[in-house]
Amino acid sequence: MLTNKNILLGVCGSIASYKSASLTRLLIKEGANVKIVMTSDACNFITPLTLSTLSKNLILTEYFDPKTGSWNNHVELGLWADILIIAPATANTLAKFANGLCDNLLAAVYLSAKCPVYLAPAMDLDMWKHPATQKNIDSLISNGNFMIKPAYGELASGLTGEGRMAEPEEIIELISQELKKKLPLAGKKALVTAGPTYEAIDPVRFIGNHSSGKMGYAIAEELSALGASVTLISGPSALKLSDKSILRIDVTSAKEMLEASLSSFKGTDISILSAAVADYRPKEVSTLKIKKDSSSFELELVKTSDILTTLGQKKKSGQILVGFALETDNEVANAIKKLEKKNLDFIVLNSLNDEGGAFKNDNNKITIIDRDHHKESFDLKPKNEVAVDICKKVLDLLQ
């Protein structure tokens, strides 16, 4: 959620200032761009050198920087930020923010920022409980700031109570969750199938296909980036997900994929089935390795269940179901037949006649056909960009 986000971290003077070092490190690890404004008191608790090393940026403390001879423009800083985090936020700084005071760079940046502001207070128990502080907190919340409540525990004063700054990991998690809530697919459940299936012949052999799973994995990542909570049911694939919030269920055969899909489908808002499921499986699976005793060998195959058709029959109004069609001839007509037969909201057509697309490749060239048989063809592009086009179509349907 924080990748490539511009995060302005305000650090106030508190015994909890040391936690801002871990917070900075975690933000950088998440892929954020971090700039830091410290109050002069914060510099007594933790050195600017520590935070500049971790953030890979110069630390700003004053309006005018005598070292560089430049003006630290609070308006530009405020506008640069996608998110402003004040951690730790002291009683003094909260009071300044609540009352619009502007006697240091951090307070001026706060007043200039138009982005969401997250405040992580840290102070002693009695300071936190004081009606003046609580009044400031109420006023800051009603002004649209997000309060990351301090935790209960042992405080630097020796007292025990509420006042410890939230841990950096919690701050990151909370902010990520808040950002996710604002995404267009927030609150939606999505199911994606990807990869091939392997149908066992004996303990060492199987019938499979060339699918890499790249298209399905890219769709799962894109749906999650749009805020959906995603379950990915994957056939055998060496691919790894970069989004750790996606629930990945590994399966091998068409039967296992069907069972996993059926148990996830109820309550799913969006299902995109991109797996290259085997259409046939060996009728009998030998428990022992089959020996090459005879000059020829026949294998009886039986049909697997069509997962997409099964879900299409169970689909309730409001559930979006999307399938793929991989064709070599009569592409559009065959895709439309599948769209109708499998009760889909739209179908993504891949043609094996388009060079550089579909199986194993990093690129794909698709045509989306909807229920009105309206066709939209896209250029050959990387699969993650194809995933964006497919998910845009889903967003259009939801609107």
Q: Is 387 in the site for ligand CTP (CB under 6 A)?
A: no
Whether 209 sits among the annotated catalytic residues: the reply is yes
- 84 vs 191, beta carbon nearer ligand CTP: 191
Q: Is 219 in the site for ligand CTP (CB under 6 A)?
A: no
Spatial separation of the C-alpha atoms in residues 1 and 224, rounded to whole Å:
10
188-207 residues in contact with ligand CTP (CB under 6 A) are: 193
Q: Is 338 in the site for ligand CTP (CB under 6 A)?
A: yes
Q: Is 275 in the site for ligand CTP (CB under 6 A)?
A: yes
Spatial separation of the C-alpha atoms in residues 217 and 37, rounded to whole Å:
39
Segment contacting ligand CTP (CB under 6 A): 174-182, 245-253, 306-314, 353-361? Answer: 306-314
Q: Is 281 in the site for ligand CTP (CB under 6 A)?
A: no
Give the 3-state DSSP-derived string for 243-302, with helices as H, strands as E and coil as C: CCCCEEEECCCHHHHHHHHHHHHCCCCEEEECCECCCEEECCCCCCCCCCCCCCCCCCEE
Q: Is 336 in the site for ligand CTP (CB under 6 A)?
A: no
The candidate with the shortest Cα–Cα distance to 80, out of 114, 46, 120, is 114
Count other C-beta atoms under 10 Å from residue 57's C-beta: 14
Segment contacting ligand CTP (CB under 6 A): 6-14, 151-159, 176-184, 320-328? Answer: 320-328
**Which value, in Å, is the radius of gyration of the alpha carbons in the chain?**
28
Count other C-beta atoms under 10 Å from residue 218's C-beta: 25
**Chain residue at closest Cβ approach to ligand CTP:** 307
Asked if 310 contacts 262 with a C-beta cutoff of 8 angstroms, the reply is yes
Could you say which of 199, 222, 306, 331 contacts ligand CTP (CB under 6 A)?
306
SS3 142: helix
- 142 vs 328, beta carbon nearer ligand CTP: 328
Could you say which of 42, 192, 325, 394 contacts ligand CTP (CB under 6 A)?
325
Could you say which of 123, 165, 277, 320 contacts ligand CTP (CB under 6 A)?
277
Tokens (6 digits) for 119: 């405040």
| Footprint on this chain of ligand CTP (rule: CB under 6 A) | 193, 254, 273-275, 277, 279, 304, 306-308, 323-326, 338
